[in-house]
Amino acid sequence: MSTVVGALIEKIFSETCSNRDGELADYIPELAAVAPDSFGICIATVDGYVYEVGDARLPFTIQSISKPFTYALALADRGAEAVGEKIDVEPSGEPFNEISLDPTTERPRNPMINAGAITAASLVAGPDVESRFERIRGTYSRYAGRELTFNEAVYASESHTGHRNRAIGHMLRSFDIITGDPDEAVDLYFRQCSIDVTCRDLSLMAATMANNGVNPVTQDTVLAPVLVERVLSVMSTCGMYDGAGKWLYEVGLPAKSGVGGGIVAVLPGQIGIAIYSPRLDAHGNSVRGVEACRALSTELELHFL
Ligand code: DON
């Protein structure tokens, strides 16, 4: 396995490297300041091996890849039934930042779009925003197996320009989906998006999901298996937003992307995959990330669903 996987990611890396399509996210000004052609691929196995190529240890902000991990924390804190009363699990077919609720249920359609993700952040337990954020950062760190840090500059940049997310927060408050202070929930969401990770960290976070919630290196149990199933289900149907159907058809793995340029994918019981390349397509997904995942899925016959 080791030589095969190592050689394969080297091959896919060199075949995908020449693709310079896509643009950096610039609606958060600080995200446009990264080196556009950085590229890393990592695969972590459930027995704790990590294969890496390229810029695998370069930090970037997790952005929307945070959403499944905060949703998992909300499920653990409040229980699946209580969370289900606030957030549905239906694909929306809409862009990630759509200002919308399901017209029948009057709930966010799923926890991967911003309306559902801001709601999930509002459900994380703790006495104040500081300690709730510390629980989020600490939990992500356990998935990664090391202490993750907060990117103040990206947070300040998003906080300064995040009017659309504030509109979503206030919409959620007006429908009583959020019952506390909506600005606090949005602030928590901005903070979780601004945690720095590397491609290697993300592959271990994904491998922890693949390993039924147990970090394959530290052996720390971060999430109960019954909740891992729920999180992977929504990643499958909703993780790639309005590109989710095509993704599942072509790649066939639960996955999540972020506008920082990361993508994670999970093959349950086997591996976590992470790719970093910050040029994005129209859905906000990494162009090379999608291409490299498609190639990995084909070559290793990973198509799971
Ligand atoms: O809500 C936002 O604008 C960001 N902080 C995160 C969005 C994101 O990563 C969407 N994913 N592709």
Q: Which ligand 1 atom is the nearest neighbour of the CA of 259?
A: 9
The predicted complex's ipTM stands at 0.98
* Parent domain of 219: 2-299
Q: Is residue 304 part of a domain?
A: no
Burial class (CB in 10 A: 0-12, 13-18, 19+), 269: exposed
In a domain, 114, yes or no: yes
- The per-residue pLDDT for 94 is 86
Query: What does the pLDDT read at residue 287?
Result: 96
d(CA 287, CA 268): 24
Cut 0.95: pTM above it: yes
* Separate counts of helices (H) and strands (E) for the chain: 12, 8
How deeply is 188 buried, as exposed, middle or buried, from its count of CB atoms within 10 A (0-12, 13-18, 19+)?
buried
**pLDDT for the residue numbered 75:** 98
Least reliable range by pLDDT among 35-44, 142-151, 220-229, 241-250: 241-250
> 3-state DSSP call for residue 20?
coil
67 is catalytic: yes
Distance in Å, CA 125 to ligand 1 centroid = 22
Domain count, the chain: 1
Q: Is 27 an annotated catalytic residue?
A: no
For the chain, list the strands marked E by DSSP. 40-45, 50-54, 60-61, 149-150, 195-197, 255-257, 262-267, 271-276
Ligand 1 site residues, Cβ closer than 6 angstroms: 63-64, 96-97, 114, 158, 165, 193, 257-259, 284
Query: What contacts 37, CB < 8 A, 6 or more positions away?
Result: 20, 277, 279
Say whether 106 counts as a known binding-site residue.
no
**Separation of 263 CA from ligand 1 center, angstroms?**
12
**89 assigned to active site:** no
Strand, coil or helix: what is 184?
Answer: helix
Q: Please give the distance, rounded to the nearest whole angstrom, from the Cα atom of residue 108 to the centre of ligand 1.
A: 16
DSSP code for 264 = E
At 241 the pLDDT is 79
Is 108 within the bounds of a domain?
Answer: yes
Phi and psi at 61, nearest 5°, equal -85, 145
We report the CATH number of the domain holding residue 290 as 3.40.710.10
Whether 9 maps to a domain, the answer reads yes
In this prediction, residue 272 has a pLDDT band, given cuts at 50, 70 and 90, of very high
The active-site residue out of 64, 122, 157, 277 is: 64
> Which of 34, 61, 96 to mutate to test ligand 1, by most ligand atoms within 8 A of the CB atom?
96
287 occurs within a structural domain:
yes
Residue with tokens 């320009």: 161
Residue 4: which pLDDT band, with cuts at 50, 70 and 90? confident
Q: How far is CA 116 from CA 5, 147, 217, 222, 268, in A?
A: 36, 26, 31, 22, 24
Q: Which tens digits make up the pLDDT trace of 99-151?
A: 999 999 999 999 999 999 999 999 999 999 999 999 999 999 999 999 999 99
Atom number of ligand 1 nearest to Cα 260: 9
Q: Is the dihedral of CA 167, 175, 91, 289 positive or negative?
A: positive
